[in-house]
Amino acid sequence: MTTDLTVRATAIDGLLVLDLPLHGDSRGWFKENWQREKMTALGLPDFEPVQNNVSYNATAGATRGIHAEPWDKLVSLMTGRAFGAWVDLRPGADFGTTVTVDLHPGVAVFVPRGVGNSYQALEDGTTYAYLVNEHWRPDVVYTAVALDDPALGIDWPIPISEAEVSDKDRANPLLADVTPMEPRRALILGGYGQLGRALRAALPDADAVDLDTFDMTDPAAYAGVDWARYDTVVNAAAYTAVDAAETSDGRRAAWAANVTALTHLARVARRHRLTVVHISSDYVFDGTHESHDEEEPFSPLGVYGQTKAAGDAVIATLDRHYVVRTSWVIGDGGNFVRTMARLAKDGVSPSVVDDQVGRLTFTDDLARGIVHLLRTRPGYGTYNLSGGGAPMSWYDVAREVFARCGRDPGDVTPSSTEAYGKDKDLAPRPRHSVLDLAKIESTGFVPTPVSTSLDDYLG
């Protein structure tokens, strides 16, 4: 009888065996069948169970078929003894890997989604209890494999030919004929905007929705999504009309898209244990510091920045979140670089602001950084992500574009923010938008220098 709670890895990734202390005397025993704080500290995922099920086998030999379920579960015995067998039915190099464990009340097994599990009672009156993190539904389809497939090499204590097995489970296919369980995937909200298009290229297995057909401000839109298909949501949608946000209609639209929509998304993400990647902005700061790190308090100047800061705060309430703060985004739609390239071609000599300083961020690089976070899974939280290299003003960027387009950079004239904004209804803008990139660089991601991205973009 073990005296210490332990969690052991197995040959199947994510399948964990727990040794549970049984505290007993002449009256019987007591165990902590689920103890979140202790178990997660030892490496058990915080899988947030929502349903507790109990299964009873009256006689030894009763055998449950090998089924992979679309949820995680923690299974243990209350009474009796059993033999457990698990088969990895997820796609990948480990497909078909098998693990077996002798089960008694002092052992529990955590079974991740997509791993087939089967149990053979070895004593009369064997009772199983298992916690799952999705509610059971009658329409669920399980991925299954034959109990006696020689390819699995399972040495059943009671031969399957002599065991009590349902007709349905005796008809399960051989491993060679099994289609692996479809993994959960990412869903891109705003998947047809500038960043959304780059994300779809970087995450080819992801699904995407267009804001023309999915109204993020409407709670009913979320009810129409089968969230069990997803483990990640990347929110590339936002109201970004900085100047229009200062108008009465724009103010309401900005708060609806950048804040109210995120309260609906956060509610869904919490219920379905989704990781949310949310795109933030340098506009959450007033620009009085020359460089902004992730710990700097919010200090937005205008309505757009205020709504982005409020949205960031909503997403930060989720356990699983990455707030990706970026600046001066350039993609495949209309943007400052394209405008300057067109003016250079058309022979125009523009006047450009020279007292707002930051770094361009190209959507391909931003998408690459987001994929890096999702693949490496560093600690959740906020990460600055922009182009690399030396900071530049908008005036500097315009000169760089003119030079690459064969025009004399001297044809670009510098202007102050005040002079440029005279007689225009412009929202206030941060003077310094440079984001400190040390945190994301510490995860192994190297932002592409802006000069390199400009070469590629204009080439």
Domain boundaries, the chain: 6-177, 185-458
Report d(CA 371, CA 206) in Å as an integer: 11
Alpha-carbon distance 340 to 401, whole Å?
Answer: 7
Secondary structure, 3-state, 2-39: CCCCEEEECCCCCCEEEECCCEEECCEEECCCCCHHHH
Is it the case that residue 138 has pLDDT exceeding 90? no
Average pLDDT for residues 111-128, to the nearest whole number? 96
Structure tokens at 333: 């739609």
Give the per-residue pLDDT at 307: 98
pLDDT at 329 over 70: yes
Catalytic residue among 119, 130, 239, 383: 130
The answer to whether domain 6-177 has CATH 2.60.120.10 is yes
Average pLDDT taken over every residue of the chain: 95
Provide the pLDDT for residue 2. Answer: 58
| 3 state SS of 442 | coil
Give pLDDT tens digits for 348-384.
999 999 999 999 999 999 999 999 999 999 999 999 9
Q: What percent of the chain has pLDDT over 70?
A: 100
What whole-number distance in Å separates Cα of residue 106 and Cα of residue 29? Answer: 10
pLDDT digits (tens, 9 = 90+) for 388-410: 999 999 999 999 999 999 999 99
Six token digits for residue 11: 């040959």
pLDDT score for 3: 74
Q: What is the pLDDT of residue 122?
A: 97
Task: List pLDDT tens digits, range 24-42.
Answer: 888 999 999 999 999 999 9
Q: Strand, coil or helix: what is 230? A: strand
Predicted confidence at residue 137, as pLDDT, reads 82
| 3-state secondary structure at position 219 | helix
Neighbours of 227 (CB within 10 A): 18
Predicted confidence at residue 376, as pLDDT, reads: 96
Portion of the chain with pLDDT greater than 90, in percent: 92
> Hey, what amino acid is at 14?
G
SS3 72: coil
Alpha-carbon torsion 239, 194, 342, 456, what sign? positive
According to DSSP, residue 430 is labeled -
How many CA atoms, within 13 angstroms, populate the side-chain half-sphere of residue 124?
1
Question: pLDDT grade, residue 459 (50/70/90)?
Answer: confident
In this prediction, residue 208 carries a pLDDT of 95
Kindly give, in sequence order, each residue whose CB lies less than 8 Å from that of residue 409, ignoring residues fewer than 6 positions away. Answer: 399, 400, 402, 403
Contact criterion met (CB below 8 Å) for 424 and 353: no
**Burial of 247 (C-beta count, 10 Å sphere; 0-12/13-18/19+):** middle
Q: In a 10 Å sphere around its CB, with 0-12 CB exposed, 13-18 middle and 19+ buried, how is residue 453 labelled?
A: buried
Q: Which CATH number fits domain 185-458: 3.40.800.10, 3.40.50.1240, 3.40.50.720, 3.30.365.10?
A: 3.40.50.720
Report how far residue 165's alpha carbon sits from residue 61's, in angstroms, rounded to the nearest whole number: 8
> pLDDT value at position 139?
81
130 is catalytic: yes
Q: What is the per-residue DSSP string for 137-205?
A: -TT---EEE-TT-TTT----SS-TTTSB--HHHHTPPPGGGPPPPPPPEEEEETTTSHHHHHHHHH-TT
CA distance linking residue 50 with residue 133, whole number of Å:
5
- Residue 1 predicted with pLDDT over 70: no
Residue of 67, 104, 272, 321 marked active site: 67
Q: For the chain, how many residues are written?
A: 459
Which tokens go with 272?
A: 């379905």
Q: How far apart are the first and last CA of the chain?
A: 70
Provide the CA 271 distance to its chain's centre, in angstroms: 14
Q: For the CA atoms of the chain, what is the radius of gyration?
A: 28
* Best CA proximity match to 35, nearest among 14, 4, 12, 1: 4
The whole-number pLDDT of residue 164 equals 96
